[in-house]
């Protein structure tokens, strides 16, 4: 991914490889002007992003339950519960602490979210947090998306260590996407969107750490501190449950483009099936 990522009609977003990590940057918050610049660039950067899972395939057995197959993806790590029935899932939620990222001179991204669809369908209804290394500095935002519509960045005062809870729920064709930042409430939001079942099929529920897939390739994964999702829940076929309570759930590891080594690995679930951790291994 070293070089420049070009978006049609836009200037290059520089992604020149750096010789090593710069470690933690200054603790002060970037200026409002810098954050506005970063936000504008992020919107442009993600304008043609594709949040759907890329290249699902069998993985290597590990410490998961026997009814939880391991799959690998070029851009997702985490868990997904799946169904072949349209409209099966009506709610997904989770809670986490915003991970800290360490930046190089390269533009890198990590995004953590909960959502419906995307595993085996052509839409995603999702919300969460995003950490972006922009011009060598970490920036943090809250966001939601009703793909194929563009991502909407909301709060820009998000910080690593903020405790957030995210949820997507559906009633008929109405979706409520909500996120609460318990540490800095200005980053919280709740919006309602419409989508017909013929388009948003609701055949999966996900709890995911992601590196966005763009038209020109997949963005480098930012070096993030371990991300632990807790209180993972869903409602499937009218029944509330946890990640592991549904009959078809999948553990996902993120791999490099050659499927040779892991970029982000996912732990097994705790006993109640509500908690797991993903770990950064490499950027691309």
Q: Is residue 73 part of a domain?
A: yes
Average pLDDT over residues 20-48: 71
**Displacement of CA 278 from its chain's centroid (Å):** 11
CATH number at residue 205: 2.60.120.700
pTM of the predicted model as reported, rounded to 2 decimal places: 0.85
CA–CA separation, 269 and 63 (whole Å) = 9
For 44, the 3-state DSSP assignment is helix
Q: How confident is the model at residue 50 (pLDDT cuts 50, 70, 90)?
A: confident
Q: Is residue 216 part of a domain?
A: yes
pLDDT at 69: 65
pLDDT at 47: 78
Q: Domain limits at 96?
A: 31-280
Q: Is residue 201 part of a domain?
A: yes
Q: What is the pLDDT of the chain when averaged over all its residues?
A: 85
Cα dihedral 271/273/279/284 (nearest 10): 140
Q: How confident is the model at residue 26 (pLDDT cuts 50, 70, 90)?
A: very low
238: left (phi over 0), alpha (psi -120 to 50) or beta: left
Q: Is residue 99 part of a domain?
A: yes
Contacts of 173 (CB under 8 A, 6+ apart): 194, 195, 196, 197, 200
**Residue listed under structure tokens 């669809």:** 117
CA–CA separation, 203 and 110 (whole Å) = 25
* Residue of 274, 278, 167 lying closest to 227 (CA atoms): 278
Average pLDDT over residues 17-24: 39
3-class SS shares of the chain: helix, strand, coil, % to 5: 5, 45, 50
Parallel, antiparallel or unpaired: strands 70-73 and 249-255: parallel
Asked if 208 contacts 112 with a C-beta cutoff of 8 angstroms, the reply is yes
pLDDT top residue among 159 and 43: 159
Q: Is residue 14 part of a domain?
A: no
**Displacement of CA 142 from its chain's centroid (Å):** 11
pLDDT at 40: 87
Number of domains composing the chain: 1
Q: What is the pLDDT of residues 124-143, one digit of tens each?
A: 999 999 999 999 999 999 99
Q: Is residue 23 part of a domain?
A: no
pLDDT at 68: 56
Q: Is residue 26 part of a domain?
A: no
Q: Is residue 5 part of a domain?
A: no
Parallel, antiparallel or unpaired: strands 3-5 and 137-147: unpaired
Contacts of 72 (CB under 8 A, 6+ apart): 55, 56, 57, 58, 59, 252, 253, 254, 255, 259
């Amino acid at each position: 991914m070293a070089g420049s990522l070009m978006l049609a009609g836009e200037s290059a977003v520089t992604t020149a490889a750096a010789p090593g990590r710069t470690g933690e940057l200054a603790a002060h918050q970037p200026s409002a002007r810098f954050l506005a610049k970063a936000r504008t660039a992020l919107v442009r950067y993600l304008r043609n992003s594709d949040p759907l899972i890329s290249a699902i395939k069998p993985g290597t057995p590990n410490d998961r339950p026997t009814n939880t197959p391991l799959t690998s993806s070029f851009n997702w790590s985490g868990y997904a519960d799946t169904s072949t029935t349209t409209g099966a899932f009506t709610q997904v939620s989770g809670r986490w602490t915003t991970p800290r990222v360490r930046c190089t001179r390269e533009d890198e991204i990590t995004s953590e979210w909960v959502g419906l669809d995307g595993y085996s369908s052509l839409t995603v209804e999702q919300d969460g947090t995003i950490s972006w290394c922009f011009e060598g500095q970490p920036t943090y935002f809250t966001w939601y998306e009703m793909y194929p519509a563009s991502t909407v960045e909301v709060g820009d005062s998000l910080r690593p260590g903020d405790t957030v809870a995210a949820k997507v729920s559906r009633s008929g064709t109405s979706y409520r996407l909500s996120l609460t930042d318990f540490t800095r409430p200005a980053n919280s939001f709740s919006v309602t969107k419409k989508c017909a079942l013929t388009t948003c099929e609701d055949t999966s529920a996900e709890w995911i750490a992601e590196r966005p897939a763009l038209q020109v390739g997949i963005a480098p994964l930012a070096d993030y501190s371990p991300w632990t999702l807790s209180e993972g829940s869903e409602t499937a076929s009218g029944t509330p449950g946890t990640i592991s309570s549904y009959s078809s759930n999948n553990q996902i590891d993120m791999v490099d483009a050659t499927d040779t080594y892991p970029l982000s690995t996912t732990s097994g679930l705790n006993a109640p099936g509500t908690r797991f951790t993903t770990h950064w291994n490499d950027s691309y």
